[in-house]
Structure 1
Amino acid sequence: MARVSNGSPSPARPDRLITLTDGIFAIAMTLLALEVRVAPDLDSGQFHAALRETVPQLAAYALSFLILYIFWRDQRQILLMSAKTGGLPQHLALAVLGVIALVPFPTSLLAEYGDREPLAVAMYAATICLIDLLQLAMFATLRGRHGVRGVGEWRDTAADLGATIVVFGASVPIAFFAPQAAMWWWLALFPAKAVLGRRERLRGARRDG
């Protein structure tokens, strides 16, 4: 584990940063749900039409909720694998949280314009990709500066982060030519995560055995 030089401020434990992470993610997930609404004072026909119009909102909500859950899991895992934080890793962690708090905005654009505005799809994909790139940078700097707990876990985390970067990063240029195809391509993330998770569990079982 890396040592802190004499006279330098000691890196902070990750506990407070983890608490802040939990709070920011909880708020962002709650704000996603607030985007799903039906106008008041509608007659029966208008109500049913408005209800049908919430389908894209619900789909965007479900997608973003699942992705935020994955980001929350990864963020906690990265912070817990490092005994200390501080300096650049802490700034990167705060940058991740700053973009996480912004996720409800591209989600609302996706729900409202995703079927007819390629830029809305590209902005959503770029936001998700940016979050993962920042997490990967935080992951790398924590590993280099403050030591790690469990080398195998770091390898699994890197692969997990890389899968999201590949899926959403590749969809950004696709969105400008075929936005619907780009959104269907995002679904590839979930079987990829399942395969990586299974490999991680098998590797953990071999280590424990």
Structure 2
Amino acid sequence: MSAERDGPGAEPGGPIMGPEQLLAFGDAVFAIAITLLILDVGVQDDLAASDLGEALHDVLADVGAYVLSFAVIGVLWLAQHAMFTSIARLDTWLLYLYLALLAVIAGLPFPTRLISEYGDTALATAIYAGAIAAASSLMTAMSLRLACRPVLVKPGVSRESLTRSVQEGLVMVLVFVASMPLTLVSPLLAQLSWLVAVPLRIWLSRRSDTGPSPA
């Protein structure tokens, strides 16, 4: 029997685990995905000393892709932890959305490898942008679910904080989705457009901090 079904406000047929158990599983998936990113970064064995500099230069694209994906996964990891501090109980939709998110996170090493090897192509850049947009969409859908179902949220969590989470997620989705058609013009331009997400998220955070306090 589900532990959640016996709790106050739990829904019949709900998930068979609590938020803490699910978060622990998610942390493991995030950790494995981040670890796998670095496995594609390396130089050929038994190089002559005179060839090492060129080999290191050739691996710069791999390092850049690693740093980019590490930062993206790190931001998503922090966001999911912030979200789970607001979750009192799970429902079936939250569980499915989170499992779908973990599936995308676990698969991120593949588009990372694509963009490290073919970052100058529209297809590889679009695939990478699509993967990040998918992960951000699922995270945003979870925040929206919480905003629409107060029974799932811990007491004291303001609706404004949930709304801000939705807005920040939408920024990520829009930036990466908008970059996909840009790849047809210039893959580099599309990749540089991803940086727009940083000031936009900072602006949303500051606007929220200076807004009216929740009643």
In structure 2, the residue matched to 1:41 is 46
In structure 2, the residue matched to 1:84 is 89
In structure 2, the residue matched to 1:128 is 132
TM-score (norm 2): 0.86
In structure 1, the residue matched to 2:9 is 3
State the distance in 1 between where 2:91 and 2:42 align. 41
**Secondary structure of the equivalent of 1:75?**
helix
Shift of residue 77, structure 1, vs aligned partner: 2.0
Equivalent of 2:106, from 101, 109, 113? Answer: 101
- Render the CA deviation track for 1:88-112: whole Å, top value 9, x for unaligned: 2101101000100111110111011
**Alpha-carbon contact 2:90-2:152 (below 8 Å) kept:** no
State the distance in 2 between where 1:52 and 1:202 align. 46
- Render the CA deviation track for 1:147-187: whole Å, top value 9, x for unaligned: 33221110110111011011101001111221110011111
**Alpha-carbon contact 1:92-1:138 (below 8 Å) kept:** yes
The aligned runs of 1:120-159 (5 Å cut-off) are 120-145=124-149, 146-148=151-153, 149-159=157-167
**Secondary structure of the equivalent of 1:4?**
coil
Shift of residue 34, structure 1, vs aligned partner: 1.6
State the distance in 2 between where 1:196 and 1:18 align. 26
- More helix by proportion, 1 or 2? 1
5+ residue gaps, structure 1, are none
Equivalent of 1:185, from 185, 193, 201? Answer: 193
**Alpha-carbon contact 2:19-2:89 (below 8 Å) kept:** yes
Identity of aligned residues (%): 33
State the distance in 2 between where 1:10 and 1:138 align. 16
Cα distance change of structure 1 residues 96 and 10 upon mapping to structure 2, 3 Å threshold: closer
Higher RCO structure (Cα 8 Å, ≥6 apart): 1
State the distance in 2 between where 1:76 and 1:180 align. 32
Q: State how many pairs are aligned.
A: 203
Equivalent of 1:24, from 24, 29, 33? Answer: 29
Paired amino acid for 1:156: R
5+ residue gaps, structure 2, are 1-7
TM-score (norm 1): 0.89
Paired amino acid for 1:192: L
RMSD over aligned CA atoms reads: 2.1
